[in-house]
């Protein structure tokens, strides 16, 4: 009898209950520091256990030393990292990249947190065209140690060693794969007008998505280049003279622009952009006067203009926009430069749009 009681007291396994096997995930938390006029991307890793690739809601907040990033005084240095987007990182076993907003300990956005200033709008879409130079030993790839390579002309979408060198294409293709693996809405790449200059394009639906993805794509590019001993120069005019600068054209649309539009609304919108030139230029990246000269497919920094298919205008209006007199679709603001913070750029564009009453 005694034996029997002992036997029945043992817990009976529930056949419906499956045991979850936990695995360790390496989470790279990214955030923007407090440097001005443009922030830098920072990242650090933490290891956490999950049953499967974590969802955003499962990610804990984390902290960092804001006194090392120009975001807090040493005496009260803790800043909070609030996860806002997660991407797989195939370069690491069970790896993930976690884009974060920087918050104050009381839960309000840190003053450096430009993402928090972007109006929430699911109907807002952005497409950014990020241009940049790959540099080694202080020179764009393919520039001789003294002097200059052959003038611009053959490099744009060029092929062959004399046009793109021996390593750049390996890097940009690897970067493209990394972005696609991360689920980034990467749209394509091209060799640009200057030697050593490249572009990638990223598109996102929702007011913050494309900007998040640009920052993660910049991070992936910078990190990838480490192993080649190469740096990415995002400055908008790294080489003086007859060499193209780097931009980050901001293509944008709202649900109203795509679905209703119309000439009167478009003209009211452009009048509002014209009123806010200084406010826009203030967040379109540093040293933009060196790039927006009126040459090299740009408008001068002190002028505002728009035009159909006009690459010398501040805002280029695609042919598709004016087709059949509809004034519907997206517009391209050509002024933002390669070093601009896409959060600040998206925030300003949507603010100006919000100041125009809908008919
Ligand atoms: P170009 O170099 O001629 O300016 P690209 O093809 O490099 O043109 O870039 C065009 C950009 O416009 C892409 O990033 C694309 O995502 C973006 N775009 C296209 N349609 C829309 C839209 N409806 N709203 C916002 N952006 C858009
Ligand atoms: Mn382009
Ligand atoms: Mn370009
Ligand atoms: Mn463009």
56: preceding bond cis by omega (within 30 degrees): no
Report d(CA 159, CA 143) in Å as an integer: 16
Q: Are residues 62 and 177 in the same domain?
A: no
Closest C-alpha to 139, from 56, 68, 239, 281: 239
pTM of the model: 0.94
CA of 249 to the centre of ligand 1 (A): 9
Do residue 107 and residue 135 come from a single domain? no
**94 and 56 housed in the same domain:** yes
The pLDDT score that the predictor gives to residue 20 is: 82
Domain CATH code at residue 173: 3.30.590.10
Same domain, 188 and 167: yes
In the chain, the number of structural domains is 2
C-beta of residue 44 within 8 angstroms of C-beta of residue 81: no
Does residue 69 form part of some domain? yes
- Asked if residue 186 and residue 290 are part of one domain, the reply reads yes
Handedness of CA 271, 262, 127, 182 (dihedral sign): positive
Same domain, 212 and 233: yes
Looking at 112, 133, 162, the residue that finishes a domain is: 112
Residues 79 and 146 in one domain: no
CA of 332 to the centre of ligand 4 (A): 7
| Rounded-to-integer distance, Cα 350 and Cα 124, Å | 8
In a domain, 16, yes or no: no
Atom of ligand 1 nearest to the CA of 253: 24
Q: Verify that 97 and 149 share a domain, yes or no.
A: no
Task: State which residues of the chain have pLDDT below 50.
Answer: 1-8
CA distance 81 to 217: 19
Nearest one of 199, 72, 73 to 134, comparing CA atoms: 199
Per-residue confidence (pLDDT) for residue 75, from 0 to 100 = 87
**Is the domain of 274 the same as that of 306?**
yes
Q: How high is the pLDDT of residue 16?
A: 65
pLDDT for the residue 225:
98
The residues facing 99 across adjacent strands are: 30, 85
Residue 105 phi/psi, 5-degree rounding, is -55, -25
Distance from the alpha carbon of residue 126 to the mean position of ligand 1, in angstroms: 8
The minimum-distance atom of ligand 1 relative to the CA of 316 is 4
Ligand nearest to the CA of 334: 4
18 within some domain: no
**Could you tell me the residue range of the domain that residue 278 belongs to?**
125-354
Q: Ligand 2 being an ion, which residues bring their Cβ within 5 A of it?
A: 129
Distance from C-alpha of 201 to C-alpha of 191, rounded to nearest angstrom: 12
Q: Is residue 154 part of a domain?
A: yes
Residue nearest to atom 13 of ligand 1 (CA): 127
Give the H/E segment covering residue 86.
strand 78-89
- C-alpha closest to that of 286 among 214, 338, 334, 347: 338
232 and 313 together in one domain: yes
Q: Is residue 207 part of a domain?
A: yes
Enumerate residues lining ligand 1, CB below 6 A.
125-127, 129, 187, 201, 203, 249, 251-253, 258, 329-330, 332
CB atoms within 10 A of CB 55: 9
Surrounding ion ligand 4 within 5 Å at CB are 129, 249
Measure 359 CA to ligand 2 centroid, in angstroms: 32
Residue 249: nearest ligand to its CA? 4
pLDDT at position 3:
47
Strand, helix or coil at 319? helix
CATH number at residue 36: 3.10.20.70
Q: Is residue 119 part of a domain?
A: no
Mutate to test the pocket of ligand 1, among 122, 190, 201 (most ligand atoms within 8 A of CB): 201
pLDDT at site 5? 45
List of E strands, 141-279: 186-191, 197-205, 231-233, 248-253
Q: Are residues 178 and 296 in the same domain?
A: yes
3 falls within a domain = no
Specify whether 134 is located in the same domain as 164: yes
Instruction: Show the tokens assigned to 272.
Output: 């509002």
- Give the closest ligand to the alpha carbon of residue 244: 3
Query: Cα(250) to centroid of ligand 3, in Å?
Result: 11
Angle subtended at Cα 17 by Cα 16 and Cα 22, rounded to the nearest 5 degrees: 150
CA of 251 to the centre of ligand 1 (A): 5
What's the pLDDT tens digit per position in 298-355? 889 989 999 999 999 999 999 999 999 999 999 999 999 999 999 999 999 999 999 9
The verdict on residue 11 lying in a domain is no
Single residue among 112, 138, 164 that ends a domain in this structure: 112
Q: In the listed set 89, 112, 135, which residue is the last one of a domain according to the structure?
A: 112
């Amino acid at each position: 009898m005694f034996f029997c009681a002992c036997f029945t007291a043992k817990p009976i396994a529930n056949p419906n209950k499956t045991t979850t096997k936990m695995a360790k995930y390496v989470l790279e938390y990214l955030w923007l520091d407090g440097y001005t006029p443009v922030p830098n991307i920072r990242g650090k890793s933490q290891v956490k256990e999950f049953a499967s690739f974590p969802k955003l809601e499962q990610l804990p907040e984390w902290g960092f030393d804001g006194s090392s990033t120009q975001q807090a005084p040493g005496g009260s240095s803790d800043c909070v990292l609030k996860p806002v987007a997660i991407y797989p990182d195939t370069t690491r076993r069970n790896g993930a990249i976690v884009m974060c907003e920087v918050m104050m300990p009381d839960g309000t956005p840190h003053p450096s947190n430009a993402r928090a200033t972007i109006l929430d709008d699911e109907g807002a879409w952005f497409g950014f065209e990020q241009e940049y130079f790959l540099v080694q030993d202080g020179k764009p790839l393919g520039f001789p140690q003294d002097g200059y390579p052959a003038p611009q002309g053959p490099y744009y979408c060029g092929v062959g060693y004399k046009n793109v060198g021996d390593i750049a294409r390996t890097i940009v293709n690897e970067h493209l794969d990394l972005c696609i693996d991360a689920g980034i809405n990467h749209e394509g790449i091209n060799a640009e007008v200057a030697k050593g200059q490249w572009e990638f394009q990223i598109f996102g639906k929702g007011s913050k998505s494309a900007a998040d993805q640009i920052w993660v794509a910049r991070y992936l590019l910078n990190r990838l280049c480490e192993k080649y001993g190469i740096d990415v120069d995002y400055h908008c005019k790294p080489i003086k003279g007859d060499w193209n600068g780097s931009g980050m054209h901001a293509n944008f649309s709202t649900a109203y622009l795509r679905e209703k539009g119309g000439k009167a609304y478009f003209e009211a919108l452009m009048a509002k952009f014209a009123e806010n030139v200084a406010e826009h230029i203030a967040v379109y990246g540093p040293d933009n006067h060196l790039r927006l000269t009126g040459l090299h497919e740009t408008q001068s920094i002190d002028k505002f203009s728009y035009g159909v298919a006009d690459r010398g205008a501040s805002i280029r209006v695609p042919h598709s926009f004016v087709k059949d007199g509809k004034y519907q679709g997206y517009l391209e603001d050509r002024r933002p430069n390669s070093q601009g913070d896409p959060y600040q750029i998206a925030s300003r564009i949507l603010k100006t749009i919000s100041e125009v009453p809908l008919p």
